[in-house]
Amino acid sequence: MKLLLTGGLGYIGSHTAVEFLNLGHEIVAFDNLSNTTQDVKAAIIEAVRQGNISEESSPCLTFIKGDLLNVDDLNKTFTEHKFDAVVHFAGLKAVGESVQKPLWYYENNVTGTINLLNTMIKHDVKKIVFSSSATVYGDPQELPIFETTPLNKTTNPYGETKAMIERILSDLCIADKDFTVVTLRYFNPIGAHESGLIGERPNGIPNNLAPYIAQVANGTREYLNVFGDDYDTIDGTGVRDYIHVTDLALGHVAAVDRLRQDNISSEKFPCLSTGFHVFNLGTGNGTSVFELLRSYEKAVGHEIPYKVMPRRAGDISTCYASADKAREILGWTATRTIDEMCLSMVKFNSK
C-alpha cells in the first residue's frame, strides 16, 4: 500500500514507518519538523536496512516538509501522490504545555485535522488511522479502561483536542458511509528501536517523563522533577500504562492491514467494515513513576537524582488499559516489558 504518515518523522511516526517499510509498504512522511529533524529519515532507512529487508530492496520513503495548517501543502502532496490510506500522527502532544497554551493546541490539532480530512475527501481517500490518546477518558471511573468506558471531561486541552477529533471523525463516518476510521487510543509510549538508531529525543526541555529521565541519566539535566508523591498509588507517584514504541508501531501495522480490501491474511482477523472503530493500545499493566525510574537506573547502571514537586495541572492518579479488543479484532498484543523499554532507551541515548 502507499501510505501518508502525517508527523511521519516524529517519535511514534518514525518507528511506525520502519515497521511499514519492513513489510514493503511505500511511505510518504509529511512533517513540519517542529519536534524532530530531517536526519530522522536517514536513520529510519538505516534501521530498516539493519532489519529484515533484503539487500536488493530499497526502502521506499519519501519526505515532504509541510504543515497541516497550510492547505496548499496538503493539496500539493495529495496531487503528487495517490494514497491508499492515511495514518495521522501529526499534532502537539504535551499535557502541561497544553494547559499553558490551549489555543495553540486547538489550532494545530483540531484545525490541522479538519484540513487533512477536507483534503482527503477532495482526493477521494477514505481510510484513516488516527493517533488518539488515553487522555480522552479523563479521570477514569474504572480500571482497567475499556473502549466502552465512558469518556469523562478531559483534564487538559491536549486530551480535549483528541476527544474533539474523535467526535469529528465519528460524525464524518455517519455523514459519509464510504469512510473507514480506526482510532487508536495510546497509553504511554516509551522506548526506542532495537537498532538504537531512532528514539525519543525532543527539541528543548522534554515534556514527557521517559526522555526527561534519560537526560538526567546522561548528565544533560541536574535532576528529575517528580510531580506529586501523594497520589493514592503504590508509592504515591502517578501510575501509567507504559508501552514500548515498537509494540505501538506494530499496532498501526495491524490496523492498516485490517483496512485492506484484499486482506486475506487471516480468516480470524478480516478487513474492518466502513465506519468508526476504536481500540486501546496498552499493556494492561500500571507502572509508577518511581518504578520506571528504578528500572531505568538498573538499565543505565547508576542512581538518577530527583526532586519531588507539587502535582502538575492536568495530571491524574492512575491510568492503564484493557487491550482485549485489539487482541481479538486486530490480532495485536504488546509483548515488551518495562525493563526492555528502559534498556532500549539507554542503547539509543548512548549513541
Q: Which positions are annotated as active-site residues? A: 158
Residue 125's closest CA among 90, 185, 172?
Answer: 172
Q: Under the phi-then-psi rule, with left for phi > 0, alpha for psi from -120 to 50, and beta for the rest, what region is 7?
A: left
Which residue in this structure is represented by grid cell 496531487?
79
- Look at residue 339 and give its three-state secondary structure: helix
Residue entry with cell 460524525: 171
Q: Tell me the H-state helices in the chain.
A: 11-22, 39-49, 71-80, 95-100, 102-105, 112-122, 157-175, 209-217, 245-259, 289-300, 324-325, 338-349
Within its chain, how far is the Cα of 227 from the centroid? 23
Nearest-angstrom CA–CA distance, 223 and 217: 8
Q: Report residue 139 as a C-alpha cell.
A: 479521570
How far is Cα 202 from Cα 63, in angstroms, rounded to an integer? 19
- Closest C-alpha to 24, from 64, 50, 61: 61
